[in-house]
Amino acid sequence: MRRAHLALVLVALLASTAPAWPLPGTDTAVPAGQVFVHNNAGFTGLPAGMGPSFDVRVAHLGRSGPEPSTGATSDGSIFFQALTKTLRSRDDGMTWQDVTPPTANPQTFDPMLYVDTATDRVYADQLGVGGNIDCSWAVWSDLKGDAWNGVNPFFCNLVPPGVTDHQKISTGALPPGLVPVGNLLPPLPVGTRATYYTWNTGAVTKLAISVDGGQTFPLTAQAAQGTCNGGLMGRTRSFPDGSLIVPKRDCGAPQAAVSADFQHWQQVPVTGAGTTGHRKNPDIAIDDAGNAYFFFSGLDEATWMAVSGDKGHTWSAPVRASPPNVLTATMQSGVAGVPGRVALLYYGSDESNAAPDHVPQTAHWHTYLAISYDALSANPTWVTLQLDDNANPTQVGCISTNTDGHCGHRNLLDFTDLVADKAGRVIAAYADGCTPGCTYGTSTGAEGVAAVLLSGATLR
């Protein structure tokens, strides 16, 4: 990996200043020694229809970009949120343009970008209006970043305790059981899209619904209540019929909060692999047929996957999704395409099986992208690509999971992101903590990185 840009220190309010750019992406055939093919029994052979080579375009964006988010519109434009800056590529990640509108919030506690693939609307949201963490400030574009609109504040949580944290934006069809609520939510025409704003208030996960594209949020609901170590959740996902699911970390087992009407929710534990309380948020991907894939860190610190065919009400026995050589993992993100095809992104280390907060200060972390074509089987085969090289890891030393204060390295913050474009090509957003380089527990950087899988596997 290229290490040519000075890492920025993240302080109370994260400012997005950086060296000059755009920077060109670099096309690389992932070396054979960094391609791991595996299933429940261990390493195996390459499955039919994948490879034999895997070409990845990796772009170091020259901007501080911890907990980045990404999305792609139908014309192939790729968007990347690097703190307060919204970046766009129109050539598959080779070059990038800053399309941040002048009306965007100049500061952030938490950045978030989302692309509604049904409408091509691009949302860019920043938590903290005027330093007020109760509210967020958003802009959106229906012209693929060429022009922007917005409502500010976009959303405010004014109900005590009045903290809006770890916010997510998502969209989908209206929930099938949604009941009109007087003037707040009158009967709506068929085809109306719902926009969701999900947030964490301590151990509680809440969300609000908009039926006018995010201009107003007339109703809120509580999706889940955590029992320990906060309530960090993944992005709310919509099934094809509009039913909802929210992945949430918790002690004992990860939780899926499910609802068919937005107003009423059920928490379903995903049992069989266990999990510890010191987790970043898990993630759920939904394929075209409505199968759900839950990705999380298990009690053994590896990455696991469970599958549901009934909108999250029951789950399969989890299967290990990380290869035998990856001993600990965190910040999983997933995406799915046609039934059975899924992709998975995470940070992992092959040098320690300790929790991310407690690995040795010499432990190297790498960024892994995994793809399966048979994720619905009881023994799925995974092709896992190591996106950085051994001499230039993503992180050295611990990665904080916001748990016990043992690790002071909050440089990568809370999540990665993974999407697929219209053709099913996988697009990853993550941060490089070793820019321009690091040795013994010195990871303090967080340069935004975008990676596009150009060949070898697709989700469609």
Please tell me the total number of residues recorded for the chain in this structure: 460
pLDDT of 99 above 90 = yes
Q: DSSP letter string over 35-65?
A: EEEEETTEE-PPPTTS-S--EEEEEEEEEE-
Give the β-pairing of 303-308 and 426-432. Answer: unpaired
Q: Where does the pLDDT of residue 273 fall: very low under 50, low under 70, confident under 90, or very high at 90 and above?
A: confident
Contact criterion met (CB below 8 Å) for 19 and 134: no
Residue range 38-47, pLDDT digits in tens:
999 999 999 9
d(CA 230, CA 222): 15
* Nearest residue to 170 (alpha-carbon basis) of 117, 228, 109, 104: 117
Compute CA 218 distance to the chain's CA centroid, rounded to the nearest angstrom: 26
From the number of C-beta atoms within 10 Å of its C-beta (0-12, 13-18, 19+), residue 52 rates as: exposed
Q: Which two tokens stand for residue 309?
A: 């065919």
Residue range 322-339, pLDDT digits in tens:
999 999 999 999 999 999
165: helix, strand or coil: strand
Gap between the terminal Cα atoms of the chain: 29
pLDDT of 183 above 60 = yes
What pLDDT score was predicted for residue 366?
A: 97
Mean pLDDT along residues 412-435: 95
Between 111-115, 410-414, 449-453, the lowest mean confidence (pLDDT) is in: 410-414
Number of H helices, E strands in the chain: 0, 32
Residue range 53-73, pLDDT digits in tens:
999 999 999 999 999 999 999
Residue with the larger pLDDT of the pair 408 and 428: 428
Query: What sign does the dihedral 455-457-458-460 (CA atoms) show?
Result: positive
Q: Identity (one letter) of the amino acid at 25?
A: G
Dihedrals phi, psi of 33, to nearest 5 degrees: -70, -5
Contact criterion met (CB below 8 Å) for 108 and 128: yes
Q: Identity (one letter) of the amino acid at 369?
A: L
What pLDDT score was predicted for residue 201?
A: 81
d(CA 455, CA 410): 33
241: number of CA atoms within 13 Å, CB side? 12
Q: What is the DSSP letter of 102?
A: T
d(CA 255, CA 246): 8
Mean pLDDT along residues 235-254: 91
Residue with the larger pLDDT of the pair 21 and 263: 263
d(CA 134, CA 441): 34
Q: Where does the pLDDT of residue 382 fall: very low under 50, low under 70, confident under 90, or very high at 90 and above?
A: very high
pLDDT of 380 above 80 = yes
Q: Identity (one letter) of the amino acid at 78?
A: I
Mean pLDDT along residues 166-177: 95
- Domain residue spans in the chain? 26-109+236-455
Give the β-pairing of 78-82 and 132-141. Answer: unpaired
Radius of gyration of the chain (CA): 20
26-109+236-455: CATH topology: Neuraminidase (2.120.10)
Mean pLDDT along residues 110-120: 96
